[in-house]
Amino acid sequence: MVSVVNTVDTSHEDMIHDAQMDYYGTRLATCSSDRSVKIFDIKNGSQILAADLRGHEGPVWQVAWAHPMFGNVLASCSYDRKVIIWKEEGGTWDRLYEYDGHDSSVNSVSWASHEFGLLLACGSSDGSISVLSCLGDGTWEPHKISNAHTIGCNAVSWAPAVIPGTLMDAPSGPKSTPVKRFVSGGCDNLIKIWREEDGQWAEEKKMEAHSDWVRDVAWAPSIGLPSGTIASCSQDGRVFIWTCDDPAGGSWTPKLLHKFGDVVWHVSWSITGNILAVSGGDNKVSLWKESTDGQWKCVSDVNKGQGISSGPDETRPEQ
C-alpha cells in the first residue's frame, strides 16, 4: 500500500475543509470545522505554525490567498455566514474586513486576478453570490447576485484577466479594462459564468452537464493561448473540462474527463494550467493531463500509484 510521505498533525480539532498555498508556495493556510484558520510556513521542508486565526463562529469552509502585491491577505468563509478578510501587518494577523451579508453558510471564496485589485467572490448556501471589492480608501463595497443558484452555491472561481494588449495603451491612452468574469457551481447541478457589465453582474452562460450538485469549479490559469478552460466536478462523480475557443466567451463545450465511483470534491489546476489534480471521496488524488490528441489521461494516482505515462510525447529518442 501507500506509504504516507509526510503526515503532519495540524492540531485542528476537526475535519480540514480546505488548504491553500500562497502565491509563492511557501505558506499554507488550512481551515477546519473547529472554526480556526491556521497558517503554516512550509519553507525548507518543514512546517511551522505561523498563525492561528480565530474569529469565525462556525466551521470554516474555504480560504483564499490574495495576490502578494496586496500584502499577505487571506479570505475565509464560514458556516457562520461570514466572510472575514485577514491581513498580516508586522507579523500579526488582523481582520481587515468582515462581511455578513449572507443569510446562510458561505461555502466558497475566490480572489480575482490582481489586475482587478482586491476583488472577492463569495458563494453561499442562500443561493446568492457576493462580489466584494476594496475601494481605494479601504472600505469595501459588496455587490450581491441574488438567486445565483437555487438551494446554494458551492464554488466560485475567477477567470484570469486575459486581455492581451491592455498594457499597450498605457500610460497615455485610455486603458481598456479586461472583462471581469467568474464561474460558479451550485446545488442546482449547474455551472454558471458571470460577467460584469457596467458595474452590474449578469449571467453570461449557464452550463448543464452534471446530474448532481456541482462541488467545485476551477478556471484554469491562462498560460499560453487565451482560450478559456474550466474544470468542474460533482457529487455525481464526474469531472468535466469545459473549453471555450471563442474569445467572446459564447460557446463552451464540455468534455468528460472521467467518471469516478464516488463524489469528487475538488479540482485544482497547476499554475501552468496543464495538469489538473482531482480529489474524490475515495481519498485519492489523481493528476490528469491532456495528451496531444486532446484526450485527458491520468498521469499519476497518488493513492493507487499506478502512474501511467502521459503518452508518447517527450519520449522521442532523437539525439
Partner 1 sequence: MAARVVQTFSGWRTMSCELDGAASAVAVSRDGSQVVVAGRNILKVFAIEEEAFVEKVNLRVGRRTSVNYSCSDVAWHQLDDNLLATAATNGAVVTWNLSRSSRNKQELLFAEHKRTVNKVCFHQAELHTLLSGSQDGSMKCFDLRRKDSVCTFNGQSESVRDVQFSPRDYFAFAASFENGNVQLWDLRRSDRCERMFTAHNGPVFSCDWHPEDRGWLATGGRDKMVKVWDMASARPRELFCVQTIASVARVKWRPERRYHLATCSMMVDHTINVWDVRRPFIPFAAFEEHRDVTTGIAWRLPHDPHLLLSGAKDCTLFQHIFKDAKRPADRANPEALCFGPRGDVAFAAKEGLSANDPARRALPGDRRNPFFFIRKAPEPYDASLTQQHSGSVCSVLNVFQRCDAKEKLNPLENESESFVELAQRYCLAGRPFAELCDHNARIAMELCRHQVAQTWLILKLLYAGGDASPSPALLPNGGIFCGKDGSSGLGGDGMSERGKSEGHGDGGLEEPNEETEGSDVENLTASVGLYAAAAGLYSGNGEEERLELLDQDTTTSDFPEFSLPPEAFALRHEIVDGPAGLEHLQTNGPDGPGSGDEDGTDEGMRSACQGKVGGSTAGLGITAAESVSLISVSQPLFGQTLPPEVFAPAVIAMLEFYAERGDVQSTVSTLIVLGEKASGGVDTLVQEHWYLSYLELLQRFRLWDVATQVIRLSTCAAISALNHDSTSLNLNCSSCRRALGAKGWLCDRCRRCASVCAVCHHAVKGLFVWCQGCSHGGHLKHMHDWLSASPHCPTGCGHLCEYT
Residues 37-66 that bind partner 1 (CB under 8 A): 42-45, 47, 57-59, 61
Strand partners, 238: 259
Closest CA to 278 of 303, 246, 311: 303
How many other C-beta atoms lie within 10 A of the C-beta of residue 125?
Answer: 21
Nearest approach, Cβ of residue 280 and partner 1 (Å): 8
C-beta separation of 159 from 89 below 8 A: no
Residue 18 found at the interface with partner 1 (CB under 8 A): yes
Residues in 98-157 at the binding interface with partner 1, rule: CB under 8 A? 105
Asked if 270 interacts with partner 1 (CB under 8 A), we say yes
Residue closer to partner 1 (CB basis): 152 or 201 = 152
Cβ at position 292, least distance to partner 1 in Å: 4
Minimum gap (Å) between residue 305 Cβ and partner 1: 3
Q: Binding string, 289-318, against partner 1, x = CB under 8 A?
A: x--xx-----xx-x-xx-x-xxxxxxxxxx
Q: Pick from 7, 92, 139, 146: which binds partner 1 (CB under 8 A)?
A: 7
Residues touching partner 1, count (CB under 8 A): 94
Q: Is 194 exposed, middle or buried (0-12, 13-18, 19+ CB in 10 A)?
A: buried
Q: Measured between alpha carbons, how far is residue 298 from residues 59, 108, 283, 301, 307 in Å?
A: 33, 27, 16, 7, 8
What is the closest distance, in whole angstroms, from the C-beta atom of residue 288 to partner 1 in the complex? 11
d(CA 185, CA 246): 21
